[in-house]
Chains A and B, each alone.
Chain A
């Protein structure tokens, strides 16, 4: 059963009529082929119209869509010989961040990403993709290992943010994030990051200070969630759509501001309608950037990455 977002209502109505008609056709010998073709064309045109002018708040909902491909789908679709690596060697294994070694288009890579989990059980297990300090510390451990063995790092960003809890604070949430950013900017192997869903604040940048930052067309990336921003500045969480607009969270905005390097187009109607195609497009883009970064002098590569962040925002 397809899950429709509020603004997809007209699309839902058309697609429901199509399904109904298909069922009718199965039962008897009524010829509905012409009508079906007409309705399908209409639905496609409708999707094109709706998705052609998504507002920031609508994109926020698309970015959080439950059927949107998750990190595990990217692993499944892109990474061969995947070996998951667990634990921060200090406290625990945090499954809000998953990582491991594998091959992307033949090249050995270290992949690290947020996993939000699916279904109630899965979401709880992965804590909705909100990492605790041990998650960031695991990411640091894996990045350092990759650096030592000259293996490029690819990260997939999809998190509402770092977990705001007592235990996380007690174990140094802020320090863990700071060290993870420090690590991203310290390693001398290529680092490519892809914002594939929600790029939530410090929890996102912790694994996102990369040589190349790619972003899916309908993903969002923000200093705070629109809800949090609305409650801080408007003192009303129902102002989230206004906050999403003001914060400039869309891929197009971020490309204009020089924060990301490339937008990866999504299939018509968003990644949740064609997960496999989306995963492939992201894989193509990541692979292309890894090719470009391969063979660069390690010191020069790191200095370029540092310079990029040092200069960010200056030329706006």
Chain B
């Protein structure tokens, strides 16, 4: 291995990959298999115009979609230790990271933005499934903590848009520790009296679901999103039977009391704006915040 294989090759490969997407004017809907013109799909926020299937959306597009006038500023996330376990499976983790970064606009799977939703200031933090399956390691944990503490210091709500296969295996136990870590961040918000809204998108599973994704004041999911703790394949292997129709889909979770609502992507921003408005009673926020300032003050930066 040398710099050629480590640095240059992934970049060349990534260039190829990017070009492919650009050249590809049509996308096949994974649900109804109809071909959709790329520009139409983007205009429809990647919701299939034929069947309404919600396709996965990148972090940047998601932030533009949710903030007023598509205006937002990136909240910088402190660097975290790279490849703390020196992990290697069939490939080195550090090489996988280089490739993922070459293909992405972000250094990891979560991007934090500050802007306004329906005129209300808000922090929105978005997980990108395209970056190593949205997996949660030190960097995602750091981004989430940064987002929560930013919301506390700005005295505004936090919205998290989740999309993740779960913990990032390659960071081992340190990934598992992001579950308590992100939970402390949620507690900071709660004690500052600030709303915490979770938007669960396809797919949200594993350690992400079993920590910050299920600790919201309000849980919203996009239609058809797969949401669960164990993945369907693991469950099938355990119980050795086929899973019921619609199992672990957003509608199933709504029926089982785990969500407040399932909202179509085209109405998501409107729903968030209304909720934030209803939860932001100025005197209340201040009163609660004043009581809790000593504990709620950001401590980690």
Contacts and interface: CB of A to CB of B under 8 A. Distances in A.
B256 A182 contact: no
Contact of B173 (A181, A232, A249): A249
Chain B, interface residues (CB within 8 Å), range:
35 or more
Given A178-B183, A181-B179, A309-B184, A164 B258 contact: no
User: Interface on chain B toward A: helix, strand, loop, or mixed SS?
Assistant: helix
B138 interface: yes
Interface residues of A, number: 56
B16 interface: no
B256 A202 contact: no
B167 A173 contact: no
A172 B258 contact: yes
B138 A313 contact: yes
A59 B129 CA distance: 34
Contacts of A65: none
Interface stretch (A32-40, A97-105, A113-121, A218-226): A218-226
Interface in A188-236: 201-202, 204-206, 209, 221-224, 228-229, 232-234
B218 interface: no
A229 B88 CA distance: 12
B43 to A, nearest CB: 34
A221 B175 CA distance: 12
Nearest to B255: A170
B229 A177 contact: yes
A228 B256 CA distance: 28
A204 B238 CA distance: 19
B247 interface: yes
Interface in A252-286: 253-254, 257, 259
A177 B187 CA distance: 15
Interface stretch (B22-30, B55-63, B204-212): B204-212
Contacts of A30: none
A166 B180 contact: no
A8 interface: no
A169 B248 contact: yes
A174 B213 contact: yes
A248 B80 contact: no
A253 B171 CA distance: 13
User: Interface on chain A toward B: helix, strand, loop, or mixed SS?
Assistant: helix
Contacts of A253: 173
Interface in B163-206: 167, 169-181, 183-187, 206
B1 interface: no
Nearest to B186: A182
A307 interface: yes
B244 A164 contact: no
Among A202, A228, A234, chain B packs the most CB atoms within 10 A around the CB of: A202
B234 interface: yes
A171 B229 CA distance: 11
B84 A175 contact: no
Contacts of B185: 310
A26 interface: no
Nearest to A232: B169
Nearest to B88: A246
Among A169, A233, A307, A316, chain B packs the most CB atoms within 10 A around the CB of: A169
Given A172-B257, A174-B210, A247 B174 contact: no
Nearest to B168: A223
B243 interface: yes
Contact of B90 (A179, A234, A248, A309): A234
A4 B206 CA distance: 35
Contacts of B257: 172
B173 A169 contact: no
Interface of A: 162, 164-166, 168-175, 177-179, 181-182, 184-186, 201-202, 204-206, 209, 221-224, 228-229, 232-234, 242-243, 246-249, 253-254, 257, 259, 299, 303, 306-307, 309-314, 316
Interface of B: 80-81, 84-85, 87-90, 138, 141, 145, 167, 169-181, 183-187, 206-207, 209-215, 227-230, 234-235, 238-239, 243-244, 247-248, 256-258, 295, 299-300
5 contacts: A223-B175, A223-B176, A257-B174, A309-B183, A313-B177
Given A166-B247, A172-B256, 12 more contacts: A164-B235, A165-B239, A174-B209, A174-B229, A181-B179, A181-B183, A181-B211, A185-B183, A205-B176, A222-B172, A246-B87, A248-B173
